[in-house]
């Protein structure tokens, strides 16, 4: 029996998730991202805007905010349908702005 090592490429999308404590809309988006992580390969980086005065001034009335590698954003009341459409658009695009990561099988 011969084992052949091969490269498997998966696309992992990095998303910045701007949030703050005691934000019910943020909690809803967090749950949605956890569910969508079962279908999409996501690297979600949560950023508490209270830890950075500049981010707080920028996003205090707009959180939750999801920021994507193509510099687009979804903010406020983020509808599941819209987020799924955005993820499908990114993952299905031949010109995606995120790079594949190699894994071994």
Domain boundaries, given as residue ranges, for the chain: 11-92
Between CA 15 and CA 74, with CA 86 as vertex, the angle to 5 degrees is 60
What is the predicted pLDDT for the residue at 104?
Answer: 36
Q: What is the pLDDT of residues 22-32, one digit of tens each?
A: 999 999 999 99
pTM, rounded to two decimals: 0.80
Residue 70 has pLDDT above 80, yes or no: yes
Class at the top of the CATH hierarchy for domain 11-92: alpha beta
Inter-residue contact 15 to 66 (CB < 8 Å): yes
What is the predicted pLDDT for the residue at 11?
Answer: 76
SS3 of residue 65 by DSSP: strand
Strand 42-48: give its sheet, edge to edge.
Answer: 42-48, 13-19, 65-67, 73-75
| Residues above pLDDT 90, as percent of the chain | 72
Inter-residue contact 98 to 11 (CB < 8 Å): yes
């Amino acid at each position: 029996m011969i084992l052949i090592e091969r490269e498997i490429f998966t696309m992992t999308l990095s998303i910045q998730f701007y949030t703050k404590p005691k934000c019910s809309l943020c909690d809803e988006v967090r749950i949605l991202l956890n569910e969508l992580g079962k279908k999409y390969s996501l690297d979600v980086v949560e950023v508490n805007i209270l830890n950075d005065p500049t981010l707080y001034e920028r996003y205090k009335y707009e959180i939750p905010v999801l920021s994507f590698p193509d510099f687009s954003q979804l903010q406020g009341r983020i509808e599941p349908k819209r987020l799924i459409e955005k993820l499908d658009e990114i993952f299905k695009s031949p010109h995606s702005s995120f790079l594949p990561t190699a894994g071994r099988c």
